[in-house]
Chains A and B, each alone.
Chain A
Amino acid sequence: MPEISGYAFPNDITVWWSLMIVMYPYITGFVAGAFIVTSLYHLFGRQEFRPIARLAMATSFAFLLVAALPLQLHLGHPERGPSVMVTPNFTSAMAGFGILYSGYLVVLMLEIWFVWRQEIIARARRSRGVARGFYKLLALYTYDTSPEAIEIDHRAITVLAGIGLPMACMLHGYVGFIFGAIKANPWWSTPLMPVIFLMSAAVSGIALLIVLYQVVAKLTRHPSDQPCVSALARWLWFFLIITLTLELLEIIVMAYEKSEPWHIVSELLTTRLEFSYLSMQMIVGGLIPLILLAIVVMLNRYLHDRVRNTLSTAAALLCLLQVFSMRWNIVIGGQLLSKSLRGLRSPYEPEIFGREGVLAALALLIVPFVILWVFDRLLGIRVAPNGGERPPRPEPEGAASAAAE
């Protein structure tokens, strides 16, 4: 039995939204964040992101495939889960999940197809037997790589990126909305919530790509493209500043207004969430990477490649911690506080085994990387190395990649 300090409503002592509901926004955050990066290249023409645009898109896809699992694992009746999609109650914010999820999945798969089309065709031409049939099917039996066809691909990619970006943002912003629009819980109920979720999604997505890019560079023994690394660090810094500002703003307004829930929220932050909020979310995951990234951004031209890689990777890892802590503090923190506003329950400790346990959560984090590996084996993610030089135009990546094979 959890211990209560003060007075909690007798039904308010259970943490109903468990570790899985912490994992859910964490994972969809990667989906949205990685898509933001790929859109910076495909939609906004930021050439410096070319080396990781495909990695970002594949990452978004890999995490999207597992995004619904934590929800499913958390349900009291997982077998009835599909009824959220089949017979939704449209006044429920949660009912939007089915539409947003499947809509975004379709858009993302289409965009992936257009981006990888030439690669698929090249592989279909190269391979034999079953593999050939597989790639032929993937290419939809069309081997057209004429300049006109490629031009159409490019236009389709831009349009799909244009549709995909708001959808990815909505898929994640809506998670923030689910919390932000619960008026019963003062720690959740703020219109800032969807924005905070979205900005921290960008932080987690970029941070994950910085780490992934370094890992891929190590594995393939190809040095990472430094303009790309510094651009990622710059954008990570930008989004981290916005995220921290909004997160602090929420607290400061509540404190300055001396609003009704402040006495209990301040107690929550300084007792139950002291470690995860003050230490992790604000200092270790907030302030420290903020300083590290400031060094990378402001002293960029003086930094040795290795220093830049190390500093930005360290900052990115801390940012990943920051975003996880933020999800934890919102989801779990909000349930430690009783709606009586008079009491807090003892900290929540997730189970280890079981479908909502730590091991299941770890598996959910590992599976996307397995998907990424399979994706790479089947379609190839890496863009052709350019000897550190940036290509003049974002021309056929598929062709470039195929040429590298």
Chain B
Amino acid sequence: MEATKMQPGAETAGAGAATGDRSAGGGSRREFLGDAIRLSGGALVFLAGSSASGSTEPAPKTKAEAYNWEEHSYAYLIDTQKCIGCGSCVRACRAENAVPDGFYRTWVERYAVGMEGSHVDSPEGGMDGFPPLAVGFTVTKSFFVPKMCNHCKATPCIQVCPVGASYRTKDGVVMVDGERCIGCAYCVQACPYGSRFLNPSTHTAEKCTWCYHRITKGLRPACVEVCPTGTRQFGDMKREDDPVRQAIEHERVEILQAHLLTEPRCYYLHLDKEVR
């Protein structure tokens, strides 16, 4: 299990990261995170006690600092040949991130391709699987393609945000600061992959965060965690023995809409020409 990589003390970390802020590392942010942990963990009482007695162990602050975002560079690998279209990933994402109805941080597309045409669908984002295929041509191949935010390196969404609410973390995740977002939807228009939307209750931009609150604790994103076939894999490019890194380095991988030069960090294996 990936969870065995969990770092000591990491179970208390991520209280700030879950809200999408930038508290995952670096000087004052680190202090802020430390403060947040002390408050959220109810450790305040504990600390007060420790300062009175002066004899307990060091505060959990040092443990929280175990996560250093400069030590990671995440990437995502999707092997389309393995996907069975069960929709577990979409459901897990919804449960994990409270994704509003009608919107999707991740979804699964079904392609049915024949010599006379092609057909794509994704009912409810593939959340409840797919109904039997009914198309007016002979299908010669059919496959599923999971989609999500590509966490592009040269992403237009960060470029166009007028207030800098969209940003990239040092470990390579594209995030939205919900406290700063003005809800202009410019980033939604600029994303070529359709992976952003405005949350109807917060009125701010929202998207896949690769479950940043999980990955900073050494866990895997919810969608990867539940994928029964290993279609979705999450890895760290700064670890030489990482299977995802190995695949990206040695296999023939593809990215979506490469002509737009957004440098996605979601890589695909066995992608078909029909997929955009």
Contact = CB atoms under 8 A, between A and B. Distances in A.
Interface in A280-323: none
Nearest to A179: B189
Given A10-B107, A10-B125, A340-B276, A94 B160 contact: yes
A76 B185 contact: yes
Contacts of A87: 163-164
Interface residues of A, number: 39
Contacts of A338: 194
A92 B193 contact: no
B120 A16 contact: no
B176 to A, nearest CB: 12
Contacts of B183: 75-77, 80
A80 B119 CA distance: 42
Nearest to B204: A76
B237 interface: no
A71 B184 CA distance: 8
Interface string B99-116: 000111001010000000
B182 A84 contact: yes
A97 B193 CA distance: 26
A93 B189 CA distance: 13
B194 A89 contact: no
A369 interface: no
A138 B182 CA distance: 37
A17 interface: yes
B165 to A, nearest CB: 8
B27 to A, nearest CB: 21
Given A80-B180, A340-B120, A342-B120, A89 B161 contact: yes
Interface in B166-207: 180-186, 188-198, 202-204
A16 B198 contact: yes
Contact of A11 (B104, B161, B162, B202): B104
A95 B165 CA distance: 12
B12 interface: no
Given A9-B193, A16-B198, A88-B163, A184 B156 contact: yes
Contact of B164 (A17, A89, A178): A89
Contacts of A7: 109, 119-122
Nearest to B178: A77
A183 interface: yes
Contacts of A342: 120, 276
A80 B164 CA distance: 12
A261 to B, nearest CB: 11
Contacts, number: 118
Contact of A182 (B182, B190, B204): B190
Nearest to A14: B197
B185 A341 contact: no
Interface string A66-87: 0000010011110011011001
Interface in B114-155: 119-122, 124-125, 147
A12 interface: yes
A342 B162 CA distance: 30
B44 interface: no
B103 to A, nearest CB: 6
B190 A94 contact: no
A91 interface: yes
A262 to B, nearest CB: 15
Nearest to B121: A7
A322 to B, nearest CB: 24
Contacts of B181: 76-77, 80
Contacts of B104: 10-11
Contacts of B107: 9-10
A268 to B, nearest CB: 16
Q: Which of A81, A92, A94, A97 has the largest count of B CB atoms less than 10 A from its CB?
A: A92
Interface string A12-32: 101011000000000000000
B184 A91 contact: no
B184 to A, nearest CB: 6
Nearest to B275: A340
B246 interface: no
Contacts of A84: 162-163, 182
A339 interface: yes
B260 A184 contact: yes
A274 to B, nearest CB: 24
B56 interface: no
Contacts of B158: 91
Nearest to A87: B163
Contacts of B161: 89, 92
Contact of A74 (B162, B184, B276): B184
Interface in B193-224: 193-198, 202-204
A76 B184 contact: yes
Interface string A322-350: 00000000000011001111100000000
Given A11-B104, A76-B198, A340-B276, A83 B189 contact: no
A89 B159 CA distance: 8
A9 B256 CA distance: 14
Nearest to B109: A7
A83 B276 CA distance: 35
Nearest to A184: B192
B137 to A, nearest CB: 15
* B103, B159, B163, B276, most chain A CB atoms within 10 A: B163
Interface of A: 1, 7, 9-12, 14, 16-17, 71, 74-77, 80-81, 83-84, 87-89, 91-95, 97, 178, 182-185, 334-335, 338-342
Given A11-B104, A182-B189, 4 more contacts: A7-B120, A11-B103, A89-B164, A341-B276
21 contacts: A11-B194, A17-B185, A75-B182, A77-B204, A80-B183, A83-B163, A83-B182, A84-B163, A87-B163, A89-B163, A92-B160, A92-B162, A92-B163, A97-B162, A182-B156, A183-B190, A184-B192, A335-B189, A338-B194, A339-B193, A341-B276
* 8 A-B pairs with the lowest CB-CB distances in the bound complex, closest first: A76-B183, A9-B194, A76-B203, A184-B192, A94-B162, A89-B164, A16-B185, A7-B120
